[in-house]
Amino acid sequence: MAKYRFDAKTGKMLVYNEKTGKWVQDRSKAKRFDFDRPMTYMPDIAEVMVYATDKPTLLTSRSQRAAYERSNNLRQAGDFRRGEIAERREKKVRREIEAVTKLTGIRPGNTLNWADF
């Protein structure tokens, strides 16, 4: 792993050469910003009053919104992957069926007769 340091005298980045044991000028090319590509700007969210809890809260930035959602165990509707909600519901139904089957010995779809009791 390369070790780097900035040389204030020369104003250049130095890298430690482990073979020679000396600090040498870093000759790797830095990634440059591509000015030819179009740049998109995404403004911050507009102020919004949220009423998800007992106390209304004013949110003025994305970071505030994210912190509010985390602290109140909330998620945006677009944050769910496709089928996630249906999958949770199916798992819950399966767990409930297994619990009923374990308690009663009756499997879903079986017909009950009075003679069984």
Please check the confidence at residue 50 and state whether its pLDDT lies above 80.
Answer: yes
Please check the confidence at residue 111 and state whether its pLDDT lies above 90.
Answer: no
Please check the confidence at residue 54 and state whether its pLDDT lies above 70.
Answer: yes
pLDDT digits (tens, 9 = 90+) for 30-47: 667 777 778 777 777 889
pLDDT digits (tens, 9 = 90+) for 56-98: 999 998 889 999 989 998 877 777 788 888 898 999 989 988 8
pLDDT the model gives residue 58: 93
Q: Are 21 and 32 in contact (CB under 8 A)?
A: no
CB-based burial label for 71 (10 Å; 0-12, 13-18, 19+) = exposed
pLDDT the model gives residue 114: 57
pLDDT digits (tens, 9 = 90+) for 17-30: 888 989 888 777 66
pLDDT the model gives residue 57: 92
How far is it, in rounded angstroms, from Cα 62 to Cα 82? 24
User: How many CB atoms lie under 10 A from the CB of residue 13?
Assistant: 14
